Amino acid sequence: MQLANKIIIADDHPLFRTAMHQAVKQLVPNAEIPQAESLPELQQLVEQHTDADLILLDLQMPGAHGFSGLVFLRSHYPEIPVIVVSACEDPGLMCQAIDHQASGYIPKSAPLEHIAVAIKQVLQGDIYLPDIARRHQHQPNQSAIDLAERLASLTPQQFRVLTMMSEGMLNKQIAYDLDVSEATIKAHVTAIFRKLGVRTRTQAVIAVQSLDIEKPDSQVSNAQHG
CATH number of 7-137+216-225: 3.40.50.2300
Question: In whole angstroms, what is the distance from residue 103 CA to residue 100 CA?
Answer: 9
pLDDT tens for each residue of 137-178: 777 677 778 888 888 899 989 998 998 998 889 999 999 999
pLDDT tens for each residue of 178-190: 999 999 999 999 9
Confidence of residue 4 (pLDDT cuts 50, 70, 90): low
pLDDT of residue 46: 94
- Pick from 75, 135, 125, 78: nearest CA to 104: 125
- Pick from 193, 129, 157, 152: nearest CA to 70: 152
Question: In whole angstroms, what is the distance from residue 200 CA to residue 100 CA?
Answer: 26
Percent of the chain with pLDDT over 90: 49
Confidence of residue 48 (pLDDT cuts 50, 70, 90): very high
Buried b (16+ CB within 10 A) or exposed e, 80-119: bbbbbbbbbbbbebbbbbbbbbbbbbbbbebeeeebbbbb
pLDDT of residue 223: 34
Confidence of residue 210 (pLDDT cuts 50, 70, 90): confident
Domain boundaries, the chain: 7-137+216-225, 142-209
pLDDT of residue 53: 94
pLDDT of residue 221: 37
Mean pLDDT of the chain: 86
CATH number of 142-209: 1.10.10.10
Question: In whole angstroms, what is the distance from residue 25 CA to residue 12 CA?
Answer: 19
72 phi and psi angles, rounded to 5 deg = -60, -50
pLDDT tens for each residue of 55-98: 999 988 888 888 889 999 999 999 999 999 998 888 888 988 99
Mean pLDDT of 24-42: 91
pLDDT of residue 5: 82
* Fold match, 7-137+216-225 / 142-209: no
204 phi and psi angles, rounded to 5 deg = -65, -45
Question: In whole angstroms, what is the distance from residue 125 CA to residue 146 CA?
Answer: 25
pLDDT of residue 50: 92
